[in-house]
Amino acid sequence: MSRYRDRVARGRLPIALLLVTAPAAIAAGCGETSRQAALKPPPVPKVAHPRGVKVEVFDGDLGRPVARARVHLGRVAARTNRRGVAVLRRPRHRRLLPLRVSAKGYDTRELHVNVRRKPLSGVRIFRRSLQWTLYGANDARTQTQPSIHLRPPFRVIWSRPLGGLLEYPAVVTDGVAYIGNAWGSVRELAMGNGTLGWRFDIPHGKLASSPAVVGDDLVVHGMDGHVWVFNRHNGRLLWHRRIGSPIESSPLVWHGLDFFGAWNGN
């Protein structure tokens, strides 16, 4: 009997050890799992990238959205909705793309935009019938622009001195004004606040006329007997020609030809 008890007792020992070590192993395994879970970094949130490029088109003079404007971004094109917004497919590889905006009755605007940094771009375009690009507003020198409906009373928005007599008025297009004073200083000024864009002082020059905007050029007649032509966007002198007599008449350019009269009767 004692031998039987000894065998049973000897047989229970492994069972007891098994019952004891199994929970310990499970507990150790759970502790390791929880430790690994604690060390695992949290998931990185995905950054949502805009799927398209938005272009907002405004009337540069009136500040109103332009509906049905045609927007070209590289090879992709779309039209603006009634709020003046066009959504175009975002290119995968290129960043800097040409942007061209056109609308009926407006001058076409061309520029370059970085679609990676600027998923939303605002573009101002200007109605041709609201610009005053030469002395007298038109070729007939009528001194009136029928599409402009401003009426008194007027108020001063801004003012700035230009260092000399302003005998003739400025010409205005695309939100900027071009004017020259009696000492031959030609300037570009922002119509919104009068900020100076560029300045060119004609050597020994005198001016007694308005300049004229012809596309990307600015034509100026000088009392020094010269015709001056500038890049109107940056003020760079493109060319000039001596006529030999003071020119007091403002430029009238038709089909690429500048018509004017000088003091010598020509």
Q: pLDDT tens digits, residue range 155-201? A: 999 999 999 999 999 999 999 999 999 999 999 999 999 999 999 99
Residue 22: the pLDDT is 45
Per-residue confidence (pLDDT) for residue 92, from 0 to 100: 73
In a shared domain, residues 190 and 255:
yes
Least trusted range by pLDDT, from 23-27, 64-68, 168-172? 23-27
What is the per-residue pLDDT for 117?
74
Quick check: 142 pLDDT over 50? Answer: yes
Q: Please check whether residue 43 lies inside any domain of the structure.
A: no
Amino acid at position 165, single letter:
L
Same domain for 59 and 164: no
Output the pLDDT for position 15. 40
Q: Do residues 178 and 218 lie in contact, with contact meaning Cβ atoms separated by under 8 Å?
A: yes
**Distance of alpha carbon 210 from alpha carbon 248, whole angstroms:** 9
CA-CA distance, 97 to 116, in Å (whole number)?
A: 10
Band (pLDDT 50/70/90 cuts) for residue 8 is very low
- Flag whether 25 is in a domain: no
Reference 198, options 165, 231, 163, 241; nearest CA is: 231
pLDDT, tens digit, 9 for 90 and up, residues 83-93: 999 999 877 76
Q: Which residue would you say has higher pLDDT here, 153 or 120?
A: 153
Cα distance between residue 172 and residue 206, in whole Å: 21
Count structural domains, the chain. Answer: 2
Q: Based on the domain organization, do 137 and 255 belong to the same domain?
A: yes
Look up the pTM and report it. 0.76
Task: From 236, 223, 244, 233, select the one nearest 168 (Cα to Cα).
Answer: 223
Residue 248's domain spans which residues? 131-143+159-259
State whether 75 and 136 are in the same domain.
no
The H-assigned helical ranges of the chain are: 2-39
Residue 18, pLDDT score: 39
In terms of Cα–Cα distance, which of 233, 225, 226 is closest to 197?
233
Distance CA(239)–CA(258), nearest Å, equals: 14
25 pLDDT band (50/70/90 cuts)? very low
- pLDDT exceeds 60 at position 47: no
Using pLDDT thresholds of 50, 70 and 90, give the confidence band for residue 119: confident
pLDDT > 90: percent of the chain: 69
Q: For the domain that residue 87 is a member of, what is the CATH number?
A: 2.60.40.1120
